[in-house]
Amino acid sequence: MRVLNFYSAVFADQLRNGRKTATIRLGDKSMKYYKNECVLVTVGYQHSPRERIFQAVIDQVEVKRVRELSPRDIEHDNPEFRRVEELVHFLEQIYGRKVSVDDHVTVVRFSQILDPPPELAHRLSGQAGTQN
């Protein structure tokens, strides 16, 4: 299973409460992430223990230039930001290099996969062979 990892613990709360439903990655990652792919969403640093947050399905993978990002794209990545300038500054901190509005980014939108409550799963398994 592919992993969609986030480095900052700040994102763990945003992910858990559904405020972060996308990630904007620098460069063209369209060959790495695919629509309808199941991924494990984690938080942690490379070569360190990571926290499993949830499983998700990728809803959309879109490559565009930074200047083409909408306020909605940016907000789904980081609920604290709305403007391209804020995102550019953030990306520069993460990637440790200058980011231009002409750089390509990949917007990966995802949805958490929820397990059904045990009582619903039990009822559904008991009715698996019946039809209306």
Domain count within the chain: 1
Report strand pairing: 2-6 vs 38-43: parallel
Domain that holds residue 112: 2-126
Entry pTM: 0.85
From first to last of its 132 residues, the chain has per-residue pLDDT tens of 899 999 887 899 999 999 999 999 999 999 999 999 999 999 998 899 999 999 999 999 999 999 999 999 999 999 989 899 999 999 999 899 999 999 999 999 999 999 877 776 666 676 655 555
Is 131 a domain residue? no
What pLDDT does residue 77 have?
Answer: 95
Long-range (24+ apart) CB contacts under 8 A made by 111-118 are 111/21, 111/56, 111/57, 111/59, 112/18, 112/41, 112/54, 112/55, 112/56, 113/38, 113/54, 113/55, 113/56, 113/57
Is 27 a domain residue? yes
What pLDDT does residue 65 have?
Answer: 98
Which CATH number goes with the domain that contains 29?
3.10.400.10
C-beta neighbour count of 51 within 10 angstroms = 12
